[in-house]
Amino acid sequence: MSRPRVVIFTGNIRRPSRSRALAEALGAEVERRLSIELRSYDVLDAGPGLGSALVRNDLPLPAARIVDEIESANALIVGTPVYKGAYTGLFKHLIDFITPDQLAGKPVALTATGGGARHALVVEHTLRPLFGFFAALTLPTAIYASDADFTASHGGAGHALTDAGIRNRLANAADELAGLLSRQASGAEAAKRAAYAVN
Ligand SMILES: Cc1cc2nc3c(=O)[nH]c(=O)nc-3n(C[C@H](O)[C@H](O)[C@H](O)COP(=O)(O)O)c2cc1C
């Protein structure tokens, strides 16, 4: 049986990135619970032509591949830095190329980071409605972290989470996502067995 594929997509436009580190920390928690194939992308991976594309055929190849990966994933972990109270423009611009029905019923974990606690509800007020448009199955536990919840790691080349409360929320969201993926896999197995029984 193939492993479920979980795709991380984050809206950071610089590296190292706290928002990417937070989303990848959630991916690592899910990996601790379940054997998954995990792939991680940000808007920088999409390439410089993303911003000027109007229709999907205009997308540069790296961006088109990310959209394809998002659509074909078993589950998503999305994340963004807060810019002026919302997700970044380029995060939304890539999401705009997703065919609406391709996310219907797909588990999506919501994460964001910001300079302080003031915009902590951005996950509920901007990310959840956006994925609601797609009828995606957003996880009940969404995660927000402030810059003060991270320390520099790898000699300044990365960010590590330090806050225990956020680690707890990551664990809760990982339980939820691993549970949904396990149910998806057992449903697919049952459907396969039923098909063999009929033939
Ligand atoms: C243009 C810009 C706008 C920002 N606006 C907000 C904001 O409205 N609220 C907030 O809490 N932080 C804001 N921030 C801070 C970032 O959200 C925060 O530092 C975030 O953790 C950066 O994530 P990154 O390391 O992935 O880029 C802003 C930063 C920039 C560069």
Residue 115 Cα to ligand 1 middle (Å): 5
Q: What are phi and psi of 139, to 5 degrees?
A: -70, 145
Protein residue whose Cα sits closest to atom 2 of ligand 1: 83
46 lines ligand 1 (CB under 6 A): no
Q: What is the mean pLDDT of residues 78-95?
A: 98
SS percent in the chain: helix, strand, coil, step 5: 50, 20, 30
Model-level pTM?
0.96
Confidence of residue 121 (pLDDT cuts 50, 70, 90): very high
Sign of the dihedral defined by the CA atoms of residues 55, 134, 20, 125, in that order: positive
11 lines ligand 1 (CB under 6 A): no
Q: What is the mean pLDDT of residues 12-31?
A: 98
Pocket test for ligand 1, best of 22, 45, 83 (most atoms within 8 A of CB): 83
Helices (H), the chain: 18-33, 61-72, 89-95, 122, 128-133, 164-198
- pLDDT of 148 above 90: yes
85 lines ligand 1 (CB under 6 A): yes
Architecture of domain 5-198: 3-Layer(aba) Sandwich (3.40)
For residue 109, how many other CB atoms are within 10 A of its CB? 30
Where exactly are the structural domains of the chain? Answer: 5-198
pLDDT digits (tens, 9 = 90+) for 91-120: 999 999 999 999 999 999 999 999 999 999
